[in-house]
Amino acid sequence: MKYLEGRKYVIQAIFLAIGAVYLIKLFYIQVLDDSYKTAAESNALRRVVQYPFRGLIYDRHGKLLVENTPVYDLMVVPKEAKAIDTLKFCQLVGITLPEYREKITTAKQYSYVRPSPFLQRLTNVEFAAIQDNLVDFPGFYINARTVRGYPHKSLAHGLGYIGEISPRQLEDTAYHGYRQGDYLGISGLEREYEQYLMGKRGVKYTMVNVRGIEKGSFKNGAYDTLSEAGQNLITTIDLKLQEYAEKLMEGKTGSIVAIEPKTGEILSLVSAPYYDPSLLTGKELGNNYMQLLRDPVKPLFNRPLMATYPPGSIFKLAQALIALQEGTISADTGFPCNWSLVKCSHRHPYPANLGIAIEQSCNPYFYQVFRSVVNRGRSSNVYKDVKLGLDDWNQHIKTFGFATKLGIDLPNEKRGLMPNSQFYDKIYGSKGWKFPTIYSVSIGQGETGVTPLQMANFAAILANRGYYYTPHIVRSVGENGKPLPEYSVKRYTSVDPRHFPPVVEGMQRVVESGTARYASLNHIGVVICGKTGTVQNPHGKDHSVFIAFAPKDDPKIAIAVYVENAGSGAIAAAPMASLVVEKYLTDTIKTASRKRWEHDMMTGSFYKWGD
Partner 1 sequence: MRTSYNISQNIDWVTIGLYALMVILGWMNIYAAVYNPENVTSIFDFSLNSGKQLAWIGTSGVIIIMLFAIDYKAYDSLAYGIYWFVILVLLGTLVLASPIKGSRSWLVITESVRLQPAEFAKFATALAVSKFMSSINLRQQNWKDQAKLAGLALLPPSIIILQNETGSALVFAAFTLAFFREGMSPLILIIGAVAVFVFVLTLLIPQWYLAGIVTLLMGGYLWMNFHRVKRYLPTFVGIWVAVLAMVFSVTYFIDNVLQEHQQNRIKVLVDPEIDPLGVGWNVTQSKIAIGSGGFFGKGFLEGTQTKFDFVPEQSTDFIFCTVGEEHGWIGSLIIIALFMALLTRIIFVAERQRSVFGRTYGYCVASIIFFHFLVNVGMTIGLAPVVGIPLPFFSYGGSSLWSFTILLFILLAIDAHRKLDLGR
| Residues contributing to the site for partner 1 (CB under 8 A) | 4-5, 7-8, 10-12, 14-16, 18-19, 21-23, 25-27, 29-31, 33, 35-37, 39-41, 43-45, 207-211, 215-216
Q: Tell me which amino acid residue 32 is.
A: L
Q: Which lies closer to partner 1 via its Cβ, residue 15 or residue 110? A: 15
Is 207 in contact with 218 (CB distance < 8 Å)?
A: yes
Residue 481: is it exposed, middle or buried by C-beta count within 10 angstroms (0-12/13-18/19+)? Answer: middle
Q: Which lies closer to partner 1 via its Cβ, residue 25 or residue 517? A: 25
Give the other-Cβ count within 10 Å of 139's Cβ: 19
DSSP-derived secondary structure letter, 142: E
Give the phi and the psi of residue 438 in degrees, each rounded to 5: -115, 15
Is 373 in contact with 393 (CB distance < 8 Å)?
A: yes
Q: Which lies closer to partner 1 via its Cβ, residue 21 or residue 352? A: 21
Q: Which lies closer to partner 1 via its Cβ, residue 26 or residue 49? A: 26
Preceding omega of 261 cis (within 30 degrees of 0): no
CB of 4 to partner 1, least distance (A): 6
CB of 12 to partner 1, least distance (A): 6
The total number of residues written for the chain in this structure? 611
CB of 80 to partner 1, least distance (A): 14
Is 348 in contact with 367 (CB distance < 8 Å)?
A: no
Long-range contacts of 496-502 (CB under 8 A, 24+ apart): 496/325, 496/466, 497/465, 497/466, 497/467, 499/321, 499/324, 499/325, 499/466, 500/321, 500/462, 500/465, 500/466, 501/465, 502/320, 502/324, 502/331, 502/354, 502/355
Q: Which lies closer to partner 1 via its Cβ, residue 211 or residue 346? A: 211
DSSP state letters, 219-252: GGGTT-B--BPPPPEEES--HHHHHHHHHHTTT-
State how far the Cα of 301 lies from the Cα of 278, in Å rounded to an integer: 17
Give the phi and the psi of residue 326 in degrees, each rounded to 5: -75, -10
State how far the Cα of 600 lies from the Cα of 594, in Å rounded to an integer: 10
SS (H, E, C) 428-443: HCCCCCCHHHHHHHHH
CB of 42 to partner 1, least distance (A): 9
Type and span of the H or E element at 65:
strand 64-76
Residue 293: is it exposed, middle or buried by C-beta count within 10 angstroms (0-12/13-18/19+)? Answer: exposed
Q: Which residues contact 432 (CB under 8 A, 6 or more apart)?
A: 424, 425
Q: Which lies closer to partner 1 via its Cβ, residue 39 or residue 382? A: 39
CB of 49 to partner 1, least distance (A): 20
Type and span of the H or E element at 14:
helix 7-27
CB of 33 to partner 1, least distance (A): 6
CB of 13 to partner 1, least distance (A): 11
Q: Which lies closer to partner 1 via its Cβ, residue 7 or residue 426? A: 7
CB of 473 to partner 1, least distance (A): 50
Q: Which lies closer to partner 1 via its Cβ, residue 4 or residue 174? A: 4
Q: Which lies closer to partner 1 via its Cβ, residue 10 or residue 174? A: 10
Is 296 in contact with 597 (CB distance < 8 Å)?
A: no
Q: Which lies closer to partner 1 via its Cβ, residue 215 or residue 482? A: 215
Q: Is 267 helix (H, G, I), strand (E, B) or coil?
A: strand
CB of 87 to partner 1, least distance (A): 31
CB of 139 to partner 1, least distance (A): 17
CB of 114 to partner 1, least distance (A): 11
CB of 5 to partner 1, least distance (A): 7
CB of 103 to partner 1, least distance (A): 23
Is 358 in contact with 320 (CB distance < 8 Å)?
A: yes
Q: Which lies closer to partner 1 via its Cβ, residue 21 or residue 290? A: 21
Q: Which lies closer to partner 1 via its Cβ, residue 63 or residue 108? A: 108
Q: Is 523 helix (H, G, I), strand (E, B) or coil?
A: helix
State how far the Cα of 273 lies from the Cα of 281, in Å rounded to an integer: 19
Q: Which lies closer to partner 1 via its Cβ, residue 115 or residue 261? A: 115
CB of 237 to partner 1, least distance (A): 51
Q: Which lies closer to partner 1 via its Cβ, residue 204 or residue 543? A: 204
Give the phi and the psi of residue 496 in degrees, each rounded to 5: -60, 135
Q: Which residues contact 138 (CB under 8 A, 6 or more apart)?
A: 80, 81, 83, 84
